[in-house]
Structure 1
Amino acid sequence: MAVPSFLARDRIVARPGFNRWLIPPAALAVHLCIGQAYATSVYKTALVEHFDTSLTAIGVIFSIAIVMLGVSAALFGTWVDRNGPRAAMFTSAVFWVSGFLVGGLGIETGQLWLLYLGYGVLGGIGLGIGYISPVSTLIKWFPDRPGLATGMAIMGFGGGALIASPLSRQLMNYYDPAYDGTAGTVPNGEAVAALFFTLAAVYLVFMMFGAFIIRVPADDWRPHGFDPSSVKKKALVTTESVSANNAIKTPQFWLLWTVLFCNVTAGIGILEQAAPMIQDFFRNGETSTVAAATAAGFVGLLSLFNMGGRFVWSSTSDFIGRKPIYMVYLGVGALLYIGLATIGSTATWLFVLLAAVIISFYGGGFATVPAYLRDLFGTYQVGAIHGRLLTAWSAAGVAGPLIINGVLDTQGTPGQLVAANYRPALFIMVGLLVVGFIANLLVRPVASKWHEPKATSPATARADTERSAVR
């Protein structure tokens, strides 16, 4: 599928002397916008009341968005690698903003299916394309520090709620003055609809900014002083190339798929339910000791740790390796979940600390996996491989909220739940993390039979595609 000339990869090849540190701001401009997906819990209760439905029915919106994220990333991954990040970021902005506009219309008119279509389907497509668009580009700009590169690319997605959560609360208060963020007050549906329209305008500006400042390196570019042969000295790291079609035939791909699915399922359930969860854990009768404004602040704090974990833990993996860092994410993460389920309700600070570290591992797992893929399969078509791996996120986006919301719907009524009601779901998450831990232990180097017979690059990839089209 051809793109307009002003979006083409050939138009954004960096000139000699270009400073590669100008690329991370372009990635952040997009990821901070689409990271709003993690702030949906701020207005979740308002949507439940507005549509007079269940937590599960509203949680489906988030699940649809994550499913479409994985599907679109898998389907368009090769297209993104071939056409470059500007075309991908531009396309992502169109879908993401359209999702808010259609979703806002659905809230305004009381049509839940329009919210599913808008924020869920259209927004989810924007999520998927926008998520992978800068990742392979930054890996190519930072071959000497792939963990740092993917951390920079993806930390913005984790930090999106850090901005969106307090901004959403303030905007909803502006559109509905009766909502002041205190316990027991919920914004009306019109305020949430107006919020959606406002975010659409803001995100359009920032995402287009990122799309038009992004650049790709020339095929023969290397960082000053970097020797590509040095990376082969590290365990599980290859300088060979594996195509996306071959990658999905290897056991390593499916082991990493399992690792990502387990890690994401465990974390996404908490993030999607974050604001109500902290209020329920510290409920005294009908009233929670945690105000709605404080709960929104908790969502923002989790976003900070989500973002920080993506950068800190993925950068750490450059020194200790991808496999060892995932042993930390999954093994220590399981112990922290046990702590959250058993002693998390004894003190607010303890609950916040446990949840924050858990979410930092969740974010770190996302940021480290592209570098893990690069180590195992090389840089050739790493964006397409990453896109296909994100189908694990799609599956987790369904499983995580369904587990949490499904358990809670059997435990009682929203607004009257307590810590004990969450324990069955939290122990399910512990089991999942153990499964992921075992899968990570089984990862080995990719067999040579899957390697490409010659060195490849985006340029040769385009040439191969064009030859295939002629044939």
Structure 2
Amino acid sequence: MSVSTLAPPPFLSRERTIAGAGFNRWLVPPAALAIHLCIGMAYGFSVFWLPLSRAVGITAPVACPADMGFIAGLFATACDWQISQLGWMYTLFFVLLGSSAAVWGGWLETAGPRKAGLVSAFCWCGGLVISAAGVYLHQIWMLWLGSGVIGGIGLGLGYISPVSTLIKWFPDRRGMATGMAIMGFGGGAMIGAPLANMLMQHFAGPTSVGVWQTFLAMAAIYFVFMVVGALGYRVPREGWKPAGWTPPAASANAMVTHRHVHLNVAWKTPQFWLLWAVLCLNVSAGIGVIGMASPMLQEVFGGRLIGLDLTFSQLDAAQKAQIAAIAAGFTGLLSLCNIGGRFGWASFSDRLGRKMTYAVFFVLGFALYALVPTTAHMGSVVLFVLSFCIILSMYGGGFATIPAYLADIFGTHMVGAIHGRLLTAWATAGVLGPVLVNYLREYQIASGIPREAAYDQTMYILAGLLVLGFVANLLVKPVAEHLYMTDDELKKAGKLAAQSKEEKVHADFEDFEEEAKDGTAGAGRASTPVARGATPVALAVVAWLAVGVPLAWGVWITLQKAVILFR
């Protein structure tokens, strides 16, 4: 190959992210965390609801006319929004997350994680900027469009951008690798929510509740972290494996394949839809509880949380404020369990196996959901809290384990795209779970059932969902032999173990640069690979500190709130 034909691939191309020899794979998880910790703020967006509900009145909400129609309400500037209107952003987040991941998952596999991560940064942070304009102009449709739709697309691309890459870098620890990244999505609210509160207090004044300024500040902070994370992504060359690691024999575990299924085939298999049901049912049960955790604790235990033998309805305003603070600690503790479960259960699945791990989720989850009403009637706050802590750890663990489960069943080459399609289960659960819990609660209270008993039937129904999930997981079998891609199909997909043409050009260009440094350009390039220096350990330490310090700060703030629960 002549020097004149050697040119590096475009900066944003997948080929440009192929790691050279000596690259430290432990630099990839902090890059993924940098993005997930930012987009994970979607979980904490409720911190803006109350301030936004009085954006016009500042000190108290200004009610809109009773006869104002829906369309007029979208453009009204003289009255405040209701929290129920703002809550639609939460639904849009997760519907668009699942939808965008499904639509653009295949594109991500060819475009590479760097390009997907940068698009995610522009969508998520750009959505915050549009939302800031919406708050400033008091146009709720701009919030729905900005953070809800455009930001939701950023969520989907950012969420799946590291999955395939991490699984390929850690074939020996698939569950742990995806658990590290997806842990960040659960931890984003722990950092973002207290940060947003601090910023709103700083920017608030006589004429502003400080939300639009906070949106702009967070957009700037998140953009820096997400861009750095996206630029930090690297993918291994085909055939790479960790030093000293030998892939297990193909017959060692029938549930772990060493071959690959194409996206267009995978989503039509029974295994895909069984795993879709597994994720949907596990998430429906968990997300329904997350949305009602705070009111559930308050209504179930009432005055007993502060040592009074009174129901929730019998408490005065000051007493309700006291138990609301305790419930906030409960919510924070559940967030920690959600995060810990994402890393802990996913790592545990590397030893136990993915199918068995999900079986534990469903069996143990069923027992705990069924036990919750009993612990409530016993008046045991500790057992009640402990049950939900384990439930939420398994909810988070389900998210982190499913990418590795997909890689086990369908292979690694298109797992990012397959995972994207599967996330439509999350979008479905994001509607099913909260609606099921909220409407059942309202129906039972309207029927005259006391508030402290209004959740009993709900818990039993959620336990029933987990039984269905257990059956779906039980039915998951290895993919039929004829559905795997042949070597010819792998060649056409550009996934053959030998490097693709673009990868060869990139490799030749890197080798030429190395040889040019020592004056050996063009001499014996084909016979001996060029050794490159290993990534400095200090760089990996800095990368982990950049994401670890904010995460530790969020954990510390959350623990301080959770301590109130046990006083």
Please give the range of the TM-score, normalised by the shorter of the 2 chains.
0.7 to 0.9
RMSD: 2.8
User: Does the C-alpha gap of structure 1 residues 53 and 280 become closer, same or farther in structure 2, counting only changes over 3 Å?
Assistant: farther
Aligned-pair CA distance for 1:409: 4.8
Which stretch shows the higher mean deviation, 403-412 or 131-140? 403-412
**Mapped partners of 1:406, 1:113: distance in 2:** 26
Cα distance change on mapping 1:423 and 1:64 into 2, 3 Å: farther
The partner residue of 2:150 within 109, 117, 122 is: 122
- TM-aligned CA distance change 1:418 to 1:168, over 3 Å: farther
Report what 1:257 is aligned to.
Answer: 276
The question of 1:450 aligning with 2:479 is answered no
For 1:385 and 1:365, the matched residues in 2 are separated by 16
Distance in 2 (CA, whole Å) between partners of 1:224 and 1:218 is 14
1:47-446 mapped onto 2 (5 Å cutoff): 47=52, 51-53=80-82, 55=84, 57-176=85-204, 190-230=209-249, 232-283=251-302, 284=312, 285-286=315-316, 287-288=319-320, 290-344=322-376, 346-410=379-443, 418-446=451-479
- Specify whether residues 249 and 350 from structure 1 end up closer, same or farther in structure 2 by C-alpha distance, changes over 3 A only: same
What is the TM-score of this pair, normalised by structure 2? Answer: 0.73
Q: Secondary structure at the match of 2:486?
A: coil
Paired with 1:193 and 1:116, the residues of 2 have a C-alpha distance of: 14
Counterpart CA distance in 2 for 1:311 and 1:319 is 13
Give the gaps of 5 or more residues in structure 2: 1-8, 55-60, 62-79, 303-311, 503-567
Tell me the residue number matched to 1:185: none
Q: 1:460 aligns with which of 486, 495, 510?
A: 495
Contact 1:77 1:383 in 2 (8 A): yes
Corresponding letter in the other structure for 1:393 = W
Describe the superposition over 1:93-127 as per-residue Cα deviations: whole angstroms up to 9, x where unpaired. 11111222223333444433222222211111011
Tell me the SS of whatever aligns to 1:262: helix
Counterpart check, 1:23 vs 2:55: no
Instruction: Tell me how far apart the structure 2 counterparts of residues 363 and 301 of structure 1 sit (CA, whole Å).
Output: 13
Q: Is the 8 A contact 1:107 1:189 kept in 2?
A: no
| Cα distance in 2 between the residues matched to 1:305 and 1:199 | 25
Give the CA deviation at 1:383.
0.5
The farther-off stretch of 168-177 and 93-102 is: 168-177
Q: Which moved more, 1:137-146 or 1:34-43?
A: 34-43
Give the whole-Å Cα distance in 1 for the aligned partners of 2:276 and 2:381: 34
Q: Indicate conservation of the 8 Å contact 1:24/1:153, yes or no.
A: yes
CA distance in 1, matches of 2:455, 2:195: 28
Larger Rg: 2
Give, in whole Å, the separation in 2 of the partners of 1:211 and 1:352.
38
Structure 2 letter corresponding to 1:124: G
Deviation at 1:431, TM superposition (A): 1.9
What displacement does 1:405 show? 3.2
Q: Which amino acid in the other structure matches residue 441 of structure 1? A: L
Q: Distance in 1 between matches of 2:465 and 2:415?
A: 27
Mean alpha-carbon deviation: is it higher for 206-215 or for 58-67?
A: 58-67
Q: Distance in 1 between matches of 2:468 and 2:390?
A: 20
Contact kept? 1:38, 1:158, Cα under 8 Å = yes
Q: Which moved more, 1:454-463 or 1:277-286?
A: 454-463
What is the SS of the residue equivalent to 2:209?
helix
Letter in 1 for 2:262: S
Letter in 1 for 2:354: R
- Paired residues in the alignment total 449
DSSP-derived class of the 2:249 partner: helix
AA of the residue aligned to 2:176: L
